[in-house]
Each structure stands twice: as structure tokens, then as C-alpha cells.
Chain A
Amino acid sequence: MSRPVDLLIIGAGPAGMAAALAAAPSGINIALLDDNPVPGGQIWRDGPQAQLPGLANDMRAQLARHPNIHLHSACKVVALAGHKRLLLEDPERGWLLSYHKLILCTGARERLLPFPGWTLPGVTGAGGLQALIKGGLSVEGERVVVAGTGPLLLASAATARKNGARIVRVAEQAGPGAVGRFAMGLWQWPNKAIQALTLFSGAYRIAAHVVEALGSDRLEAVRIQMGERVEEVACERLACGFSLVPNVEVAKALGCEVRDQAIVVDNWQASTLTDHYAAGECTGFGGSELALVEGRIAGLVAIDRQDQARALWPQRERWQRFADRLNRAFALDPALKRLAAPDTLVCRCEDVAYASLVEHGTWSAAKLNTRCGMGACQGRICSTAAQTLFGWEPPVLRPPFSPARIATLACLDEAEPAA
């Protein structure tokens, strides 16, 4: 078993990178894990069709210059393995890692909601399509509909357009009042206002939402509710995402308090569990600027530089106000909870339809009776959907947190009993 690291950071997006760089000058031994092949998280995802901002490249270069930061890419947390010890797996091996302090920077995922046809090839998440394009997917000459809610829709549309797609519709579910108030307040964050103007698309419609994806073997068209009428748009791709939800599975398993689907932290980014901190989207959706400052604060507090961390509080407050405004403006229309037809699959791993779920009162009852959430994604997609649709509280994830090799699980035998 390897020596414990002083500081373990899970997630190498903006928050995790900022935390590592803030803590590194102290000289402590830092391990930075990420399940993607290269650091950057979702927003700074690299690839043949990605254009990273200067800050992302700078931070990556800085990470490489610190000999005390050990980056473990393509590495997943598989299970807890006793007190302050985790079981990890990468493409080559499984191993145990002990730590003194931990910062969770596990980010957020897209909320994906079921509607008829959402399992058709050609339908992806909104951020999902963006990630796939950055990773080399060609959308040249394709007609793309982007639907759902939040500023990510415009960002996704812009990436697709830049790579040769024709954006035939961007359907934002939020109404004119909410979107208008949000846009009017943007002057307080000038870089965000400029971003909004750059990303804006003529195909953008508000108070519009997807009703159905049509096609036999693949997506052929999308039906969109626009006020009273429904328009049918022929397209090759539908990129559909309903805002983001924090990834809190590891935090929950560790015993950190989670409220309103986000890890609870204090002013020092400390969770309710001693020596465990959290920063970035896993503490609530707020964008990369907020993630960066939260990450820096967490990294500084982890090396006992509370004085320096405190100096960053006003900056965090400024971006938190932006996040609050964003979350208010793009609250979900209850109509989106009624899109699924009786035969629409909700659990895509076990192919469980809406009709067989709806009769159950809780997630556990539904799971026991239908196998929903028992597939490879461990309910990450369907329990999030069920929470939105039925208000069912998602369960604490049981290990392995993601599919793992038997040889990896065998490492648990060398773990001593939990202290």
C-alpha cells in the first residue's frame, strides 16, 4: 500500500486545478484525480476540436511544473476502503490511496429528462454534444436542434455551429420574464454579458420545449412546443439538457451532508466532515469563475492559510450572486415533468418504462420492483430524472460507484478494517 498523501483532490476541472495550485507552494504531497484522459473538467475539455482559453492552458502548464502535484488521469473512485482511504481504478490497475485531507471537486452533470424518443441515436445531452464535438465528432453539414434550459444551450449551439452544423432551433424552456430579468442584470458581470452576445443565435426561442424526438432507427425530427403551437423540425441531432445537477455520490458515501442536491460547505469550503472540503459545481451550480475561486479557497484552507483564503471571500460572493440569479431565471417549468409517455423508458440501463415506475411511491420501492437504477450508471441518470419527476430522494450509492474490474475489487482485501 502506498504512503498516504497529504491532500487528495477528486476532480481536475477548474475547481480542482485551482485547489491544487493554491495548496502546492506549501510543498505538501498532493494527488489530483480525474476520470477523464486529460485535466480540465467539462468546461475546459481538450480534444482535436477544442479551443481552450489561455487560463486553462496556463493552469495546466503550472500543474505540470509542480513536482509535488501528482496527476492521476483516467482514474475513478470505486469504493471507500476504510478511514480516509479510497479504492481507485485506472485503465491499468486498481489501488488503495490514503489521505490526510480531501477536497471534493466532483463537478456537475447534465439533468437529462425522459421524453418520447429520447433514447434514439442522434439525441445527446446539450453539454454532451459539446463534449463529443470537442472530442472529435464531426457535425459538418448536420441540422442540430438544441433544447432544454440555461446558458449551456447557447454555448453548445455555438460549438456545433463553429464546427459546421446548421442550428435550426434553440428551444429555451424558461419564459420571457425570467430570461429578460436575467439578461438585464448581466451588466454587473461584463464578461458574462459579452459571452452572451457572442453566443447568441437567431434560432433562439424562449418558452419553448421539446415534446418528442421522432425517427425509426435514428433521430429524424423533433417536435417542439412553442406557446400554443407545436412545430416539427427535421434534424440529424438533438442536444437536450435541463441545467446541471451536482455530482455528490462520493460525498454522500463519505458521510458529508448534502442539501438541495449539493454538498453543504461553510465559508472555508469545509464540508460537515472534518478534513473534507468541497469546491466548484458539486457545491451547487455556479460556473467556472465561482469554481475557480472556491477551489483556491479550499486549497488555501487545506494548508492552513485562512488569511489568504479570507481575502478571496468578496470575489466568491460576487460570482455566487451571479449563480443565484442564473438558478432563479432558469427554474424548470412543471410541464417538463409530464413529457414522458407511458412507454417512454426512464431507466436506460434496464429499459424500465415510465408506466411501471409511476405506480410506486418511493425510489426504493420502484427499484425493488422494476430494477430501475440497477444498471451500469447506478441510477445517475434515472434517479436524477425520478427526483425531478416524482420528488423521490435518490439513494446513497452502494459500491462499486462505477463498474470496476474484479482485480480492482480484490485490492479491498489488503485494506485494514475501518478505523
Chain B
Amino acid sequence: MPELIIDGQPLRVAQGTTVAAALMSAGDRCSRTSVSGQRRAPLCGMGICQECRVNVDGLRRLACQTLCRDGMHVETRP
């Protein structure tokens, strides 16, 4: 069971969980802040809409296409 850090908060998830699924059950359950300041959450779940783009260990990744790994740092805020 990997444990990752989402916006500074630890979260333990089942093996094979996507980062999108993980962040929808942590903090404010959002993935990013839009250009006009709205908080947004994953939408399409399949790599198209880019609403779930987050910072994973310093790189911009799509949360829905990234699997959680132990010690991973995920940031949803700019």
C-alpha cells in the first residue's frame, strides 16, 4: 500500500490507485486552480481534458494517467 503526500498531507492508497483517484479523496478533492481562480477536479478520467494536471515530484503530469507510488509528492496548487 503506497503512501503519497498530497499538498503536504500523507495519504495511503491501494496498490494500483491513480493519482486522480487519490486526490479526489484528499484535501479539497481538487486537482488544480483555473486561470480565473476556480478550483477544478478531474473530469474525463482518461487523459483528454487536462483538468487533472498536477505537479508530481516536480514534473507536470496527468493525475489520471499516473499511478501512486510510495513517497510521491503531489501538488495541486500553483
Q: Is the CB of A121 within 8 A of B16?
A: no
- Bound: A42/B46 CA distance, A: 7
Of the listed stretches A59-67, A286-294, A348-356, A409-417, chain B binds A348-356
* Chain A residues, CB < 8 A from B50: 349, 375-377, 403
**What band does the interface of chain A fall in when counting residues whose beta carbon is under 8 Å from B?**
35 or more
Given A112-B49, A128-B42, A136-B17, decide whether A351 and B35 contact each other with a Cβ distance below 8 A: yes
A132 and B34 form a contact (CB under 8 A): no
Q: For B51, what are the chain A residues with a Cβ–Cβ distance below 8 Å? A: 348
**CB of B39 within 8 Å of the partner chain:** yes
B39 with A348: CB separation less than 8 A: no
List of B residues within 8 angstroms of A122 by Cβ: 41
- Counting CB contacts under 8 A, is A315 at the interface? no
Query: Which B-chain residue is minimally distant from A123 (CB atoms)?
Result: B43
The smallest beta-carbon distance between B16 and chain A, in angstroms, is 5
- Residue on A with the closest CB to B35? A351
Closest chain-A Cβ to B70's Cβ sits at a distance in Å of 15
B45 adjacent to A121 (CB under 8 Å): no
Please name all residues of chain A whose beta carbon is closer than 8 Å to the beta carbon of B28 when the two chains form the complex. 121, 217
User: Are the CB atoms of B43 and A37 closer together than 8 Å?
Assistant: no
Q: Which of A136, A217, A247 contacts B21 (CB 8 A)?
A: A136
Q: Are B49 and A131 in contact (CB under 8 A)?
A: no
Choice from B25, B38, B39, B45 contacting A138 with Cβ under 8 Å: B25
Q: Is A388's CB within 8 Å of the partner chain B?
A: no
A95 to chain B, nearest CB (A): 17
Instruction: State in angstroms the CA–CA spacing of A218 and B27 once bound together.
Output: 13
Smallest CB-CB separation from B29: which chain A residue?
A121
* Chain A residues, CB < 8 A from B42: 124, 128, 132
B14–A109 contact, CB under 8 A? no
In the assembled complex, which residues on chain B have CB atoms less than 8 Å from the CB atom of A137? 20-21, 24-25
Are B21 and A135 in contact, CB atoms less than 8 angstroms apart?
Answer: yes
User: How many B residues have CB within 8 A of the partner chain?
Assistant: 39
- A123 to B45, alpha carbons, bound, how many Å? 11
A/B pair count, beta carbons within 8 Å: 128
Q: How far is the CA of A129 from the CA of B21 in the complex (A)?
A: 10
B46 to chain A, nearest CB (A): 5
Contact digits for A131-155, partner B, Cβ 8 Å, 1 yes 0 no: 1110111100000000000000000
Question: A110 in the interface, Cβ–Cβ < 8 Å?
Answer: yes
Alpha-carbon distance A134/B28, docked complex (angstroms): 21
Residue of A nearest to B60 (CB): A403
A377 touches B25 (CB 8 A): no
CB atoms of B45 and A109 under 8 A apart: no
**Contacts A136-B17, A403-B60 known; A119 to B53 CB distance under 8 Å?**
no
Question: What's the minimum C-beta distance from A136 to chain B, rounded to whole angstroms?
Answer: 3
Report how far A407 CA is from B16 CA in the complex, Å. Answer: 29
A332 an interface residue at 8 Å Cβ cutoff? no
**A window 362-387: CB within 8 A of B:** 375-377, 380-381
| Structural contact, A36 and B47, CB atoms closer than 8 A | yes
Closest to A36 in B: B65
Chain B residues with CB under 8 A of A128: 42-46
Are B43's CB and A136's CB within 8 A? no
Which among B15, B20, B49, B60 is the interface contact of A348 at CB below 8 angstroms? B49
21 A-B residue pairs with Cβ-Cβ distance under 8 Å, sorted by A, are A35-B47, A36-B47, A37-B66, A48-B15, A109-B44, A121-B39, A122-B41, A123-B43, A125-B43, A125-B44, A128-B42, A128-B44, A132-B20, A132-B24, A136-B17, A136-B22, A217-B28, A348-B40, A348-B43, A348-B51, A350-B35
**Which 8 A-B pairs give the minimum distances between C-beta atoms?**
A136-B17, A131-B45, A128-B45, A135-B18, A121-B41, A136-B21, A376-B50, A137-B21
Chain A residues at the B interface, C-beta cutoff of 8 Å: 35-37, 42, 45-48, 74, 91, 109-110, 112, 119, 121-125, 127-133, 135-138, 217-218, 247, 348-351, 375-377, 380-381, 403, 405
